[in-house]
């Protein structure tokens, strides 16, 4: 083997050794346990706090976890539908029908949220009843309402609030996590100014949580209990009021007479200024003529 071959072989061996050493060198790994707890940073709601240096504004807000439709982050959410119905029926007895609706609602596990009865033209009674019924009993209850009398009109609506519900759940989870982080920061804070700033953020997050929980409770109530608004009306009597009422006629005549007297009184006081001016003008004219009698022509005097 000549010198060139030996030199080439040695060069190959060195190159292989270098490549093998680079491949066997472990990558640098950050050991969380080596980090000092005093330098730990908590980030929430766009703020970050160092346990030693205090409370500062971070460069970017903490990301809010995104929620896919029907996904609350911890599992699928069932579809949330708010069901409402508006029904107008004609019944013989509005008051009795309102009581029937009350009994029907109680039988289905619901209740009447409001009842409004009133007397209108020709002493016809009408009213409006609002029923809150479990959604599972919505169709059966609606059929029972329609059977109470003659159906005049009916309409039903279904509002899908699933997307809003899921969004509220995701925001609630985010604010809950922020609240836990701020509470952890509060436990580690020692300076008064840091405690005040953290407490302000805790109050803000807690207020948002309360508002979200209130909205969630409202949506749950509307979804769990469907709303049926029933308008009740009595049929119009054939030919209007039956028979002739002589007393009513006399009363209407007296009312017309008094109305005419009222009109004359109003007219008198309205024209009173003109009447006064006319009287003053008339007496002024007579006084002027009395002071300046008419002079007879000269020819008449000679005769």
**CB count, 10 Å around CB of 183?**
12
Q: Give the model's pLDDT for residue 67.
A: 38
Question: For position 49, what pLDDT does the model report?
Answer: 40
| Tokens found for residue 33 | 């346990």
Measured CA to CA, the distance from residue 301 to residue 141 in angstroms comes to 112
How far is it, in rounded angstroms, from Cα 289 to Cα 297?
A: 18
Let me know: does 178 contact 205? Beta carbons within 8 Å.
Answer: yes
Mean pLDDT, 10 residues at a time, the chain of 303 residues: 52 50 39 35 39 37 40 65 94 91 92 88 83 93 91 92 92 93 90 91 93 94 93 75 65 88 91 89 84 62 50
Query: pTM, whole model, 2 decimals?
Result: 0.52
- Domains annotated for the chain, with CATH where assigned, are 81-160+228-233 (3.30.70)
pLDDT of residue 54: 40
Q: Which residues contact 113 (CB under 8 A, 6 or more apart)?
A: 130, 131, 132, 227
pLDDT reported for residue 247:
72
- Helices 94-107 and 138-146: crossing angle in degrees, nearest 10, is 160
The pLDDT, as a whole number, for residue 129 is 93
- Output the CA torsion sign for 132, 134, 138, 141: negative
């Amino acid at each position: 083997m000549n010198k060139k071959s030996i030199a080439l072989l040695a060069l190959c061996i060195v190159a292989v050794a270098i490549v093998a050493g680079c491949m066997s060198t472990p990558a640098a790994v950050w050991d969380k346990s080596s980090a000092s707890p005093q330098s730990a940073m908590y980030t929430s709601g766009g703020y970050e706090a160092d346990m030693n240096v205090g409370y500062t504004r971070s460069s970017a807000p903490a990301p809010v976890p995104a929620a896919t439709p029907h996904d609350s982050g911890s599992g699928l959410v069932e579809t949330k539908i708010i069901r409402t119905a508006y029904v107008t029926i004609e019944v013989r007895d509005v008051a009795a029908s309102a009581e029937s609706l009350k009994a029907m609602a109680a039988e289905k596990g619901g209740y009447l949220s409001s009842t409004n009865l009133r007397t209108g033209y020709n002493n016809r009674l009408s009213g409006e009843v609002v029923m809150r019924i479990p959604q599972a009993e919505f169709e059966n209850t609606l059929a029972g309402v329609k059977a109470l009398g003659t159906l005049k009109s009916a309409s039903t609506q279904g509002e899908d609030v699933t997307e809003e519900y899921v969004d509220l759940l995701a925001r609630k989870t985010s604010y809950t996590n922020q609240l836990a982080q701020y509470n952890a920061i509060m436990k580690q804070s020692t300076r008064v100014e840091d405690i005040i700033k953290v407490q302000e953020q805790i109050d803000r997050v807690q207020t948002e949580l309360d508002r979200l929980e209130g909205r969630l409770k409202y949506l749950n109530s509307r979804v769990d209990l469907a709303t049926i608004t029933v308008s009740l009306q009595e049929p119009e009597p054939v030919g209007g009021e039956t028979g002739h009422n002589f007393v009513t006629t006399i009363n209407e005549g007296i009312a017309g007479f008094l109305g005419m007297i009222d009109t004359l009184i109003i007219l008198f006081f309205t024209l009173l200024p003109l009447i006064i001016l006319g009287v003053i003008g008339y007496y002024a004219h007579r006084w002027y003529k009395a002071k300046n009698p008419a002079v007879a022509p000269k020819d008449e005097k000679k005769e």
